[in-house]
Amino acid sequence: MTESKAMILGCSGAQLTPDEISLYRDERPWGFILFARNCLELPQIADLVASMRDAIGRPDAPVLIDQEGGRVQRIRPPMIERYPSGAALGEIYRRDRELGLRAAWLMSRLHAFDLTRLGVNVDCLPVLDVPVEGASNVIGDRAYGFDPHAVAEMGKAAAEGLKSGGMLPIMKHMPGHGRGMADSHHELPVVTASRAELEAHDFLPFVAMKDELMAMSAHIVFTAIDAEEPATISSRVIEEIIRGHIGFDGLLVSDDTSMNALKGTIGERAARIMAGGCDIVLHCNGVMEEMKAVVEAAIPLSGEALRRTSAVEAGFTPADGADEQALRQEFHGLTAVS
């Protein structure tokens, strides 16, 4: 079988177009990602996911979604209930540590019930970014809180909930986006904190969760490590911090190639992501001309990237057989406004 290319692609709408099917079949992305524009009703989502996998002939190909809860929830009511933000769960943790950890586990386990019945098997969660006062709201209430130790504990619980439901998590945004004073969707955040400050705060949750199988990079410059390039394309950040200090040996997926924190054409961005050391180029918006540029730059999986994708593919485990309604009732009891 011909090897997949080191990329994850989106699509433009609720069904695949003939051009998208042809591109996928010819260029063999390793996986796919869904956004709100792709999610109109539950049977349609399941059909779309199945058609993506059918196009590349891989029935278990990773299909990702950002289903965090709060303002980042791609599938919303009435299809799937609205879940609370990471900050709301963090508030439970601050009142009662054990109840907070249980709430984080439960919400992820409920995401798994929601998503696996649609064929989605990867949730881009947990958010391990630790904000500081005055930072951009791009993270904001998506974070569990301002204490890196609490964020690490809540992140672990969230990841375990997904895995208990037969899914896999992607930690984000490695090595940390919480200190960014700009929204990387629109411009490049530059962080001037010392390496010691970063290690004690921003990097800490990722160190605690370094053994997870996947992480997503941050489009953010850390001047103490590389004053020129954002982490996503910085070989220095990836080698010294992500692979070195953090000790993460899992699959490193870029954040979205089309975000304006990155400069140059889409093809140039994708090439720099590959050259910098990310294993997978992520492209989300489904624009055909941009996807064509990504596939030109992406290379077939080989070496360490192939080893890591193989580990991910082998890392899915059967769901635990839990009682969905009982867990929903418990979760609603924990998160009800008193």
pLDDT digits (tens, 9 = 90+) for 35-61: 999 999 999 999 999 999 999 999 999
Residue 88 CA neighbour count, 13 Å, CB half:
16
Bridge-based pairing state of the strands 168-169 and 63-65: unpaired
Chain segment 193-247, per-residue pLDDT in tens: 999 999 999 999 999 999 999 999 999 999 999 999 999 999 999 999 999 999 9
- On whether the pTM is more than 0.85, the answer is yes
Rounded Cα distance between 48 and 147, Å, is 39
pLDDT exceeds cutoff 50 at 338: no
Mean pLDDT of 329-338: 86
Torsion 5-10-14-18 (CA) sign: negative
Task: Please tell me which residue in 202, 255, 256, 279 is annotated as part of the active site.
Answer: 255
Active site residue 226: no
d(CA 272, CA 159): 30
pLDDT of residue 11: 98
Choose, from 54, 147, 183, 185, the residue flagged as catalytic. 185
User: Which of 294, 296, 276 lies closest to 285 in space, CA to CA?
Assistant: 294
- More confident call, 28 vs 188: 28
The pair of structure tokens assigned to 205 is 């949750």
**In this predicted structure, what is the pLDDT of residue 184?**
61
State pLDDT tens for residues 245-287. 999 999 999 999 998 778 999 999 999 999 999 999 999 999 9
pLDDT-above-70 percentage for the chain:
98
Alpha-carbon dihedral sign for residues 126, 129, 130, 134: negative
Q: What is the pLDDT of residue 180?
A: 80
Closest CA to 294 of 280, 305, 312: 280
- Report how far residue 338's alpha carbon sits from residue 316's, in angstroms, rounded to the nearest whole number: 38
For residue 188, name the pLDDT band (cuts at 50, 70, 90). confident
Residues in the chain: 338
Which residues face 222 on adjacent strands?
Answer: 191, 226
Query: pLDDT, tens digit, for every residue of 137-155?
Result: 788 899 999 999 999 999 9
Cα separation, 130 vs 228, whole angstroms: 23
Quote the mean pLDDT of the chain: 95
Q: What is the pLDDT of residue 133?
A: 83
Residue 47 bears catalytic tag: no
Please provide the CATH number assigned to the domain covering 5-335: 3.20.20.300
Query: Distance (Å, rounded) from C-alpha 205 to C-alpha 218?
Result: 14
Report d(CA 291, CA 331) in Å as an integer: 40
Q: For residue 273, count other CB atoms closer than 10 A to its CB.
A: 29
Give the pLDDT confidence of 85-141 residue by residue, as tens digits. 999 999 999 999 999 999 999 999 999 999 999 999 999 999 999 999 877 778 889
Q: Tokens 């792709």 correspond to what residue? A: 38
